Amino acid sequence: MTGKPLPGIVRSGGGAMQPERVAALLRSVGWGRRPAEQIAREMAASLCFGVFLPQPDGTERQVGFARVVLDSAGAYHLCDVVIEEALRGRGLGTKLVQAVTGDQRLQGRFGTLETGDAHRFYERLGFERCGLERMHRRPDNADAGRK
């Protein structure tokens, strides 16, 4: 962690997301750039999680996003994990991924993800390398990263 932890609130469900903020967050990273219509379709077909920060006017601003694609056989794929650049290193990404992996709908499922540069981050949260970019999380790793 590089700065003071922030009091982010993690919410799930497509209705909780701020679509324009999600699109902006994804545009801020090279791998996330795609048309807003495609992002909307992907969100509608996925479990969505967001990190929100309280604002002085009483509203909340979405500063993080993650999307989970489920299959019917007991696996999930974690994708589109992003935190607003200026707020990275303040515990929000950890809070987000812990909320995802702790979600009741994912318990007992085998998880996968792909990353080019965040292996150590995901390893701290119970994922294991299984290739250059691919990682997985076994269902029996439920307590990993919850210290």
Residue 106: how many other CB atoms lie within 10 Å = 20
Please indicate, yes or no, if residue 125 is contained in any of the structural domains.
yes
Within-domain flag for 40? yes
In a domain, 1, yes or no: no
* Residue-level pLDDT, tens digit, the chain, 147 residues: 567 888 899 999 989 999 999 999 999 998 888 998 999 999 999 999 999 999 999 999 999 999 999 998 899 999 999 999 999 999 999 999 999 999 999 999 999 999 988 999 999 999 999 988 899 999 876 565 554
Concatenate the DSSP letters of all residues of 31-62 into one string: GG---HHHHHHHHHTSEEEEEEEE-TTS-EEE
Q: Return the structure tokens found at 29.
A: 């990273």
Is residue 2 situated within a structural domain? no
What's the domain count of the chain?
Answer: 1
How far apart, in whole angstroms, are the C-alpha atoms of residue 70 and residue 31?
21
CATH of the domain at 29: 3.40.630.30
Structural domain includes residue 53: yes
146 in a structural domain: no
Domain that holds residue 121: 9-141
Q: Within a domain: residue 32?
A: yes
Burial pattern 13-48, b for ≥16 Cβ within 10 A else e, equals ebeebbeebbbbbbeeeeebeeeeeebeebbeebbb
Distance CA 50, CA 67 (A): 9
Q: Sign of dihedral through CA atoms 89, 104, 139, 43? A: negative
For residue 4, being part of any structural domain is answered with no
Q: For residues 119 and 86, what is the distance between their CA atoms, to the nearest angstrom?
A: 21
